[in-house]
Amino acid sequence: MNFPVSGFPIIPDGQRWEEENYELFKPGYYYPVNIGDVLVSKYQIVGKLGWGSTSTVWLARDLDIFDQTLLTDFAAAEMEGPSPRKIVDGVPIYASRRFGFPKALGPVVLGDFRSAVKGEEKRNHNAGPDIYRAPEVIIKADWSYPVDIWNVGVLIWDLFEGKHLFCNLNEENGVLDYSTGTHLAEIIGALGPPPLDLLERGIRSDEWFHKDGTWKAEIEIPEDASLDKLEVRYVEGEHKTQFMHFVRCMLQWRPEDRKTAKELLQHPWLNL
């Protein structure tokens, strides 16, 4: 495949992008990759899927395998609309592209324990991919094991609905980037206003909320976005009722209000 080498959006130099936002980022820390590169004469880079605190994640096609239908749409999208990018001291930084969902799901594979920490000690640093961050992480309150329960609640929506529950993107200079304020606005739209006692724990709460807990940011709260009113396409009847309740057990503002993993294993939806 010959991917476009021109005609793509240029990310402004002054706009920090994806892995650039990590304090550990510096040229040479991440392996420099370009779309279209061929590695070890076997794997061609098709696009960027994401990034983390120590590495980036890329989709590649095996040049020795001819039936790669799963990659077709992804590669076509890159051909038609090349990913935004920039160069920092000779190192390329690309915008990630969302990967479509396969028609059939295989076993879930869990990996990347690089940033894992023990939950007995309270922490308040940023944790998790932007779109899956729990409210206490966003407002910089102490967090522990319940952040993982929130992550599962958001991720399970991705798996069953084929789209993100919270997109939290804001357009600036023609480029879409993560917005903390937009993320909070979307959570409010889905769950209603946060409890005041939770906001009082957050170091950053006053950036978006008044002292009485009301919203002060100049970002609109999405209307008709309540979790109870959202359309669920792939489950029906009693399965739908129990599925929504299952998600609700995880997506709670207060971490202490979320069910534990042990409690969730006993939920009726997992036993229908």
Query: Could you tell me the pTM of the whole model?
Result: 0.65
What is the chain's pLDDT, residue by residue, as a tens digit (272 residues)?
Answer: 899 888 999 999 888 888 887 766 776 678 889 999 999 999 999 999 888 777 888 989 888 776 566 678 888 889 999 999 999 888 899 999 877 666 666 665 556 555 677 777 777 787 777 888 999 999 999 999 999 999 999 988 888 777 788 887 666 655 566 788 999 999 999 999 999 999 999 999 999 999 999 999 888 998 888 888 877 776 778 888 898 899 999 999 999 999 999 999 999 998 87
Radius of gyration (C-alpha) of the chain in whole angstroms: 20
List the chain domain ranges.
Answer: 18-94, 130-271
Contact 78, 47 (CB under 8 A): yes
Q: Give the residues across from 170 on adjacent strands.
A: 177
- Output the CATH code of domain 18-94: 3.30.200
CATH class of 130-271: mainly alpha
Burial group, residue 82, by CB count within 10 angstroms (0-12, 13-18, 19+)? buried
Half-sphere exposure of 93 (CA within 13 A, CB side): 24
Of 190, 193, 173, 192, residue with least CA distance to 225? 190
DSSP letters, 37-66, are -EETTTEEEEEEEEE-SS-EEEEEEETT--
